[in-house]
Amino acid sequence: MLFFRIVVAAFAVPAVVVALAPTGHTSSGRPIYEAPSGSRVLQNGTDMVVFAPNGTQLHVFENVVGARTPPSTGTGPLRPRQTDTIGQVYTTLGANDTLQAFNATFVVPPAPTTFDSQFMFLSQGITTLDDTGAPASFLGVALQYGGSFVQGGPFYIGAAFLEFLPDGGYLVLTLIDVSPQLNVSDTVGISVTYQGIENEPGFAPFYDYNVEFTGSDAANLPQIEVGQQVLPAIVGFRVEEEGISEPSDYPTGPLTFKDVQLELTTGFPKKLDWEIDGAAATGIDFKVVKGGSKNAEIKLVFPDDS
């Protein structure tokens, strides 16, 4: 995006280096870090370096990725996720595929009827794999309900985050003096866009992706840009939950991702299959209403949906 091209010079000069401290932990003990919306995260060998929008280095996540050199894609077999709190609808890209754009819209569903500190990330994004083919990171934006992950409460907000898999923690993007709260029946768009191969002083060339919300409230919702030396291998919709104990802890209506567009740098794939993983563990019914790469539709039906 133009914003990041403007501040690119900041990476060529010494910047003040600070270190983020975890602002919280998940119930399983994984650390949660916060950075301002618009931050940029770049891979440096096995580390991921976080820069504020003004170019100031905020943090280094050490040894969270395997060492890679471009143009490796990292594409390999999808490993089943060893967790009872995650489900996803996804497609796996080919070894020679580069994701250009992944867009969709959704309408915020009716809220759960009970709140008992449960947490949900209902997200859209991209997953990279490590050298063994196991998931290494997930970059996405989400409809968040609940407040155990730094933000939120018994209401919906828009969240942007980078998750280091399987247990490296989260970087959550936040806005200053702006509430990212979303209301039931709001229509929201999500956009994942390839910015190209970038070169920054002190970093090996990396594949740059911007992930953001779109629509009338986009300025009040978080955004993140991430550069890694490996292309995303998995693209899809993901549910992550904690503290769900009964059907009424879920939204009382379905969440439907519509107008799903998945474009490669070579164009829209003529054949694209969406797969489902982990639905039984979450209790959510994942439905591929319409497949393919153009105008696809993915529906999440919750146990309390009536």
Taking only the tens place, the pLDDT of each residue in 15-67 is: 445 689 988 887 778 888 999 999 999 999 999 999 999 999 999 999 998 64
* Residue 216, pLDDT above cutoff 50: yes
Q: Which pLDDT score is estimated for 282?
A: 83
* Res 146: pLDDT: 86
**74, 286, 245, 273: which is closest to 165 by C-alpha?**
74
Residue 306 lies in a domain: no
Of 223 and 71, the structure prediction assigns the larger pLDDT to 223
Residue 174 in contact with residue 222, Cβ under 8 Å? yes
Name which residue leads in pLDDT, 305 or 260: 260
Give domain status of residue 16, yes or no: no
Please check whether residue 225 lies inside any domain of the structure.
yes
| Euclidean distance between the first and the last CA atom of the chain, given in angstroms as a whole number | 42
The residue behind tokens 């769900």 is 244
CB 50 within 8 A of CB 58: yes
Tokens of 157: 């907000």
The most distant pair of C-alpha atoms in the chain lies apart, rounded to whole Å, by 57
The first and second tokens of residue 294, run together, are: 């153009």
The number of folded domains in the chain is 1
Q: Are the CB atoms for 251 and 115 separated by under 8 Å?
A: no
| Domain that includes residue 100, residue range | 2-11+26-301
Residue at 17 is within a domain? no
| Cis bond before residue 31 (omega within 30° of 0) | no
Is residue 220 one of the residues assigned to a domain? yes
Cα 302 to Cα 306: distance, rounded to the nearest angstrom: 9
- Please report the pLDDT score of residue 74 as a whole number: 41
CB 254 within 8 A of CB 299: yes
**Cα atoms in the 13 Å half-sphere on the side-chain side of 243:** 16
pLDDT classification of 70: cutoffs 50, 70, 90:
very low
Inside any domain, residue 18: no
- Mean predicted confidence (pLDDT) in 241-246: 87
19 in a structural domain: no
pLDDT in tens, 91-104: 999 999 999 999 99
33: left (phi over 0), alpha (psi -120 to 50) or beta: beta
**HSE (CB half, 13 Å, CA atoms) of 30?**
16
Query: For residue 20, is it within any domain?
Result: no
DSSP state of 6: H
Per-residue model confidence as pLDDT tens digits over 269-295: 999 999 999 877 788 999 999 999 999
